[in-house]
Each structure stands twice: as C-alpha cells, then as structure tokens.
Amino acid sequence: MPARRMTRFWADRRLALKGLVVIALPLAILLGALVSLYIASNAEVRAENDVRRAFAIQRDTYQVHALLAEAAAGVRGYALTGQERFLEPYRKAEASLPPTMVRLDQAIRDREVRERFNRINELTARKREGLKSIVDLARNGNRAAIEPALVSNKIVLDAMRQEIELIQRREGVLLDQRRARVDEVRGRFLLLTAISAVVGLLGSLAAVYLFSTGIVRRVQILEANAELLARGEELAEMPDDADEIGRLAQRMARASALLRGREQALRESEERFRLVIEEVQDYGIFALDPQGVVTSWNLGAQRIKGWEAEEILGHHFSRFYPEETRGHLPAQMLERARRDGTAEDEGWRLRKDGSPFWANVVITALHDEHGALRGFAKVTRDMTERRRSEEALRFAREEAIAANLAKSEFLSRTSHELRTPMSAILGFGQLLELDEDQFEPRHREALSQIMKAGRHLLSLINDLLDISSIEAGGAELNLEQIDLGELLQEVHGLAAPIVATAGLKFVLEQPAEPLVAWADRRRVVQVMLNLVSNAAKYNRTGSQVRLTCSSKGRDIRVEVEDDGTGVASSEVSRLFTPFDRLGQQSRAKVDGTGLGLALSKRLVESMGGQIGYEAPEQGARFWFTLPSRARSSSARSKAGKQRA
C-alpha cells in the first residue's frame, strides 16, 4: 500500500516538478562527473607535460654534449690544419649552447638533476673557454701549447659526459614515474568518462520518457539540426530557452559555427597550398591520373617545359619524352611508381619548342584512405646546367689524362734519343781512360769531369726512362719469391763502398727468421740502393746507416735509417716529388738527379707495396713494404729456377 500511494503521488505531480526531480538529480551527478573529468583532464595534461619536459631535458642534455663534441672535433681539425672550415661546428656550438642551457635551466625541476645541471653548466663554461683558447693558440701559431689544451678539454668533455649520463639516468627514473602517473590519471579519466556517459544516458532517457509529450517538437528540431550539422549546413533557429534542451541547442549552434569556421580554414589552407604549388618556378609540379594524363599544371612546369596549362591539361605526359624513349619509358616509370611508391629517373626531355633539356624526374603514386590508386604526382627539375658542368669536367679530366700520357711519351722518347749519343760519349770516354796515363794532369782532370758528368746524365736518363715507363704502364716486372735476408746481404755488399766513402758505418740487421717477398728482385735492389745512397749522402753529422727488414702482418717491411739531421717536418710532404731536391739551399751541394725517391715510390707501388718516411728521435727512417707469400719447398724451388 505505501508503495502504491507513493507511485500515485508521483503520477499526480506536475510536469515541472517531475522535471525538477528527475532531471535535476542526474544533471547534478553529471555536473559533478564533468567537474571530476575536468580535474582529471588537467591532471593528465600536467602529467603529460612532465613527461614531455623529461624528454626535452634528455634531448637538450644530449644536444649540449653533441654540440661541444662536434666543436671540439672542429677546433682540433683547425689546430692541426689551420683551415677555417673546421671552425664551423665551433661557431654553431657558440650560437646554440646559450639558448639550450636556458631551456634546460627553465625545464629542470628535480633537485638532484638541478645539482648535476649546475656542474654541467660549470663544465660547459670551462669547455667553451678551453676551445676558445685553443683557437687563439692556433691562430697565434703557438702549437706547443695546443696539445696540452686539447687533452685538458677532452678531460672536461669526459666529465661532462659522465654528468649527462647521470642526468639521463635520473630523468629516466623520473620519466617512468611520470608515465605511471599519466597511465593512472588516464585510467581514472576513462572510468569517470564511462560513469558520466552512463549517468548522462540515464538522465536523457528519463527526460525523454517524462517530457516526451511536451518537448517532441523541440527534439524533432534538434534532430533536424543534427543532420544539418553533419552536413555542415546552417542550423534552424531554436527558441531561446534556458532549460537543458535550450542549452543543448545553443551548444550545437556554437559547434556548428566552430565546424563551419574550421571548414573555412581548411578550404583556405588548401587554397594556400594550391597557390604555393602553382607559384613554385624552380620545380615543375603537376598531377597525373592513373593513366598518365596531366590533370594539374604549375608555373614551374610552364617555365621549364614551355606549355601553358590549357595547352597540356588532358594530354598524356609522354609528350615530354624524346622519340627514342617515348614508346616505353613513360609506361615503365608509372609501373615502377605503382609497384614501389616512387620512381626516379634522369634523362633528356623535350620542351614545347622541341629543344631538349636534362631533367631529374620523381613520380609518386597517390592513394586514397582505402589504398586505391588515385593518380600520380610528378616533380621535374631542369638539371641541364649541372649536366653541362659534369660533361665539361669529364672532358677536362680526359684532356688531363691525355696530357699526362703525352708527357710520359715525350720523356720516354727524349730519354731514348739522349741515351744513344750519351752512350757514345761514355764509350769514347772509356777508350780515353785506357790511355789516361799518357795525358797531362789537366787533361786527365778534364776527362774525369767528362766521365763524371756523363755518368750523372746517363743516370738521370735511366731514371726518366724508368718513371715514364711506369707511368705509361709499360714497366716490365719479373715478380718472383725472393729471400729478403739474402737480398739485404747482397745490397750490403754493393752499397758498403758508398757508405764507407761517406765516412759512415754500415749496419746490417738480418731478420730473426727467413722472410720471403713476392717482388721483382732487380727493382727491389734498385730501391734499396737508392735509399742507402740517400742516407749516406745526406748524413753529414751522424755515424752510421742501418739496413733491416721485418714481418708486418701480411707484408714485409724494409727500413733504411741514419742518425743524421733528418728531414724538416715542413719538407716531408715533398720527399717523393720528382726533381725536388730538398735542403740544397742550406747544405753543401750533393750529387743526384732528384728522381731517386720518386722512382722508388713508383717501383714499390707497382709491386703492390707502400713507401714512406718516419722521423725517429734522431736522423731519418725510410721504409717500404712488399707483399709476402707463404714459403714452401716448391715455392723455393720455383723461385730458384726463375733466378737461374
């Protein structure tokens, strides 16, 4: 009975009271849920901001280290070479570090990270001061102080790296905590969203059920407005009521205005994009349908190809290709774009007037949201000037090669032409030497000068012939397996008189084990004699010349070392330059052709080895390497037969 009386009492109440009771309660719950959602949303935003700030701190700390590392490498390159281009990373670091440090200072909230950031700030200042001082030292030419400065700066960079790793570790912990907080807030957010949705649905159902007879017309208007909103059209006017339906209508009207504003902005953005594409003049940008027919045309395409838009729209893009490629290349390009997404090609294309130009072409396939092919975007760039430059460079290179070959041919022919009369001069000179005792002293001295000059000139001619023969690819090499220990002993015997004449001791250090090289025996002897002769001629302050060889991995290394004054560091790069006889202006004249080292370099390289110079604590050390082969009995037998 009490339940029936309660139901009756409720049924007899006015609609306004029912609305107040039935709608107010769910609305109050809904408002509370919305407030909770707002709070949860703000909490999620704050948590996400914390996560983004952690990422930003990690990125900026890495950037600080990267900028300083690149600046240090650039400064080191500048200190070693003196070239200004190496200072570009240093200048970039000087420009980028201050704002990066300011961002870090503003972003860091954690106390531990703040303490490490302060240490990084101090190390950064020290690093920048050290790099500046190295640049100043390099510009002032104070190279002795550069190496300690570089070492000190590296220590600072290592310390900074450790601090940054600690910050990254700490920020990683904080990032995990903040992500967990974001997930927690998002979970609450989803729960509140579900509760709000349920409460809102129940309230709406109750309102519709209780007020259906009084609000059907307005609901029908709202339904019609919803359809208009979906189509993006202007909504019908609603009564200016203050109840829930009125507020809903107002919100819908605002949503409609916002949607139309966004659509307008989108249309304007698309229009701006279209204008940008159409106004680009350095690139021909146009669209093709799936069959390759031109559907759009920008000013760049018009400038490059010569066709107006109305002249080319609706025509197949194969019109741009020369006759010899028109039948197959356009179809192949479209097929590659369909298969791979993009297709790129360089080749000759035609302008409207028929003139060719060299083009770089990229065709990109365009698909809709379902993956269906909608057409292609084609970008064309005129590369004719670059092509001409490449052709000119190729012609210049070919001409340089031809000139070098002509030079080698000239040297070879000239040397051959000089060799014949020179041999005759030396032959007659040797005949005169047979009767030298019958000559007066002044005639004997003249004959000696003739023979000395003739032999010197013949040596020069032979060296020129060797160099020109190697450069022309005509040097004959008899490659065989040779025992370096025996060969060093032979060279020691041949060069001992030369070294003794210079008043020096000739030291031979035999290898501890047999060493076999794959080389031309006569050429190796020639290289060794050149190096030993140079050491004897230029060692005016020392006491000895040392000859030795050893195994270095898969190669054998031969060294000729003296304890004289050595070679100035500024002249090392010119050691193997033909006719460049270093130091003649500061020391007594030394006989020579100026071709010995250059010839030795070419001979060693033609046998597959390398040659170089090192500066020991005192004197000079020249070395060269020869490829080695495993020594076996059959190889020794074969090598012996070749030598025989």
Whether 112 is in a domain gets the answer yes
* pLDDT at site 174: 72
- Shared-domain flag, residues 430 and 549: no
Q: What is the DSSP string of 302-335?
A: HHHH---HHHHTTSBGGGGS-HHHHTTHHHHHHH
Per the CB < 8 A criterion, the answer to whether 629 and 483 are in contact is no
* pLDDT at site 454: 67
List C-alpha distances in Å: 454 to 414, 467, 593: 16, 20, 13
Only one residue has tokens 């579900």, namely 194
Of the CA atoms within 13 Å of residue 61, those in its CB half-sphere come to 29
- Shared-domain flag, residues 521 and 626: yes
Whether 251 is in a domain gets the answer no
- Shared-domain flag, residues 497 and 627: yes
Whether 577 is in a domain gets the answer yes
Per the CB < 8 A criterion, the answer to whether 357 and 334 are in contact is no
Low-confidence stretches of the chain (pLDDT beneath 50): 7-15, 18, 213-214, 585-588, 630-644
- Shared-domain flag, residues 439 and 488: no
- Shared-domain flag, residues 544 and 463: no
Q: Considering 209, 229, 261, which residue would you say is the last residue of a domain?
A: 209
Whether 261 is in a domain gets the answer no
Whether 73 is in a domain gets the answer yes
Which secondary structure element, helix H or strand E, spans residue 129, and what is its range? Answer: helix 111-140
- Indicate the Cα dihedral angle 256, 262, 268, 272, nearest 10°: -170
pTM: 0.35
* pLDDT at site 11: 40
CATH number for the domain harbouring residue 497: 3.30.565.10
- Shared-domain flag, residues 461 and 354: no
* pLDDT at site 102: 85
Whether 390 is in a domain gets the answer no
- Shared-domain flag, residues 322 and 359: yes
Only one residue has tokens 């004197």, namely 619
Burial of 599 (0-12, 13-18, 19+ CB in 10 A): buried
* pLDDT at site 83: 81
In this structure, the strands spanning 373-382 and 284-288 are antiparallel
Number of domains present in the structure of the chain? 4
- Shared-domain flag, residues 497 and 632: yes
Per the CB < 8 A criterion, the answer to whether 626 and 608 are in contact is yes
Partner residues linked to 548 by β-bridges: 509, 559
Q: Express the helix, strand and coil content of the chain in percent, nearest 5 each.
A: 70, 15, 20
CATH number for the domain harbouring residue 334: 3.30.450.20
- Shared-domain flag, residues 502 and 625: yes
* pLDDT at site 395: 83
List C-alpha distances in Å: 330 to 305, 314, 317, 438: 16, 16, 8, 93
* pLDDT at site 585: 47
Structural tokens at position 185: 């807030």
Q: Which domain holds residue 289?
A: 280-382
